[in-house]
Amino acid sequence: MSYHELRPPELKITCQKPISQLPVPKLVVLPLQQHTGALAQPIVKVGDMVTKGQVIGDSTQYVFAPIHASISGKIKAISPWMHPTLGREIESVIIEGEGDFEELKLKPLGMNISPQEISSRSREAGLVGLGGAAFPTAVKLNPNKPVEVVIINGAECEPYLTVDHRQMLEKSNKIILGLKLMMKAVGARNGIIAIEDNKKDAITIMNESVKAEEAIKVSILPSKYPQGAEKVLIKTLLKREVPRGGLPMDVGVVVSNVSTAICLTEAILEGKVLTERVITISGDLIKEPANAMVTLGTLIKDVSDNYIKLPEEPYKVVTGGPMTGITQSSLDVPIIKGTSGVLFLRKKDEFMQGECIRCGRCVKVCPLRLMPLYIALNTKIEDYSKAEYFGALDCFECGSCTYACPASIPLVHYVKVAKSEIFKRRKVSTKA
């Protein structure tokens, strides 16, 4: 590789823990924005009774996935609620569990369905990429460019997280079926299941499962960060570089998360809609870390009540992994479609932020060969066009530079500031 290897501690302490079922909560909060794309419009009213699996938020927009009730009960309120990734309050549907209704399911389909049906069923079932970015699956499975390869991303390079790892061990057949459905949907001839070499058991099981499949192979990736980032993954596997500002399909590739493939299989063969997902509950504060199936909309405090006695001293609650995850300001934030984990971390004594000594480590570890130090420097002095020149808009915020910085400069934070300022300015200039 052309950049230094970054190997943060793996801390995959839950990789031997089978997926358990978290109790269904009494109350769920379902934000009407859970994916990249359009905001859902509520199609229920306060006081309505809903059944698990029923659509509660919909839209006619193309880049969209509907939102379903994740428990049966009564709509208690439709009001703004703190969102786990957007950092502000978003209109959300709050359901209070009532009765013991059956789950609403779609009509099960067979494997012999058309590409269009696969894509439209993905939408009906509310599927989005479950790796974190939450891009609507139906849109991804309807590419406007020829696709040769579908890659199932089992890299899972973020420390702590073991969601994909466990699912590869426990649901390998559903992953293969999901991959085949995706290949059919996009017209790809080849499928790759890509796994980092630190997950030997998953490699063995997946290899076993693809034995009968001619078009599918398992590829082993070196375990290093950020191997699971789409662009890095494609580069490692196929030596192709997704063009700046482009999508994987520009190089004939579609990449999907492991969990998404499983949900697609279940949506088509069982008619299941997306109302729950697997998350890793971990961190250095947790005594009994776990992988658990949770109902979407479950508040973090309902998760923590089951797993942890929160400490007296300050701590961090992070959704996602420790490299890219977001700290939450309260425990009343819901688990949404894109939430891959909840981490409870001790607050470490942070090093004092220093001045850049130009050691170049951020440059060496950047997978996109950007200049993080100059993005930060120019953002500090508010020269955003320079920040853009050094790659602010290219950055996918993997956190490698900040991890490597000996002076403890929050480089990714500066990148985020630069991005929002650049977009703000663009908006103003197009208006004028």
Partner 1 sequence: MSSEFNTKIVISPSPHFRTDLNPNKIMRRVIIGLIPVMIAAVYFFGIVNFLRVVGLSTVSAIVFEFLILRVFKRKIIPGTYSSGVVTGILLGLTLPPSVPWWIPVVGSGIAIIVAKEFFGGLGQNPFNPALIGRAVLSVSWPVHITTFITPFESLTTATPLALLKDGVDKLPSYWDLFYGNVSGSIGETSALLILIGGIYLLMTRTIEWYIPVSYLGSMAILSLLLGRDPVIEILAGGVMLGAFFMATDYVTSPVTSKGRLIFGLGCGILTLIIRAFGGYPEGVTYAILIMNAFSPIIERVTLPRKFGEVKK
318 binding partner 1? (CB under 8 A): yes
The nearest distance, CB 231 to partner 1, in angstroms, is: 6
Among 203, 65, 205, smallest CA distance to 140 is for 65
d(CA 307, CA 280): 11
SS3 148: coil
- Contact predicate 70/52, CB 8 Å: yes
Range in contact with partner 1 (rule: CB under 8 A) among 44-52, 94-102, 194-202, 401-409: 401-409
173 binding partner 1? (CB under 8 A): no
- Residue 63 or 310 with smaller CB distance to partner 1: 310
Among 303, 236, 225, 228, smallest CA distance to 258 is for 228
312 binding partner 1? (CB under 8 A): yes
Dihedral sign computed on CA atoms, order 232, 233, 238, 240: negative
Residues 346-365 that bind partner 1 (CB under 8 A): 347, 350-352, 354-360, 363-364
420 binding partner 1? (CB under 8 A): no
What is the total count of residues that contact partner 1 (CB under 8 A)?
68
Range in contact with partner 1 (rule: CB under 8 A) among 122-130, 164-172, 290-298, 405-413: 405-413
d(CA 289, CA 273): 27
Range in contact with partner 1 (rule: CB under 8 A) among 161-169, 211-219, 273-281, 343-351: 343-351
21 DSSP β-pair partners: 293
Supply the angle between the helices 163-170 and 200-209 in degrees, to the nearest 10: 40
Dihedral sign computed on CA atoms, order 87, 89, 95, 96: positive
Among 36, 29, 15, smallest CA distance to 294 is for 29
The DSSP line for 246-257 is --GGGGTEEEEE
Residues 244-303 that bind partner 1 (CB under 8 A): 244-246, 301
Range in contact with partner 1 (rule: CB under 8 A) among 180-188, 199-207, 241-249, 264-272: 241-249
Element (H, E) at 374: helix 372-380
Q: Where are the beta strands (DSSP E) in 209-340?
A: 216-221, 253-257, 276-282, 290-295, 315-319, 326-327
20 binding partner 1? (CB under 8 A): no
Instruction: Please identify which residue in 324, 380, 383, 422 interacts with partner 1, judged by CB under 8 A.
Output: 324
Residues 375-394 that bind partner 1 (CB under 8 A): 391, 394
Instruction: Please identify which residue in 328, 339, 340, 379 interacts with partner 1, judged by CB under 8 A.
Output: 328
345 binding partner 1? (CB under 8 A): yes
- Residue 256 or 328 with smaller CB distance to partner 1: 328
Burial of 206 (0-12, 13-18, 19+ CB in 10 A): buried
97, amino acid identity: G
Residues 141-170 that bind partner 1 (CB under 8 A): 159
The nearest distance, CB 158 to partner 1, in angstroms, is: 10
The nearest distance, CB 21 to partner 1, in angstroms, is: 24
Range in contact with partner 1 (rule: CB under 8 A) among 116-124, 147-155, 201-209, 328-336: 328-336
The nearest distance, CB 320 to partner 1, in angstroms, is: 8
Residues 36-95 that bind partner 1 (CB under 8 A): none
Element (H, E) at 95: strand 89-97
Give me the half-sphere count of Cα atoms (radius 13 Å) on the Cβ side of residue 85. 22
Instruction: Please identify which residue in 174, 235, 337, 419 interacts with partner 1, judged by CB under 8 A.
Output: 235
d(CA 371, CA 422): 17
The nearest distance, CB 348 to partner 1, in angstroms, is: 9
Structure token digits, residue 431: 């208006």
By CB under 8 A, name the binding residues for partner 1: 8-9, 159, 231, 235, 241-246, 301, 310-318, 322-332, 343, 345, 347, 350-352, 354-360, 363-364, 367-371, 373, 391, 394, 397, 399, 402-408, 410, 412-413, 416
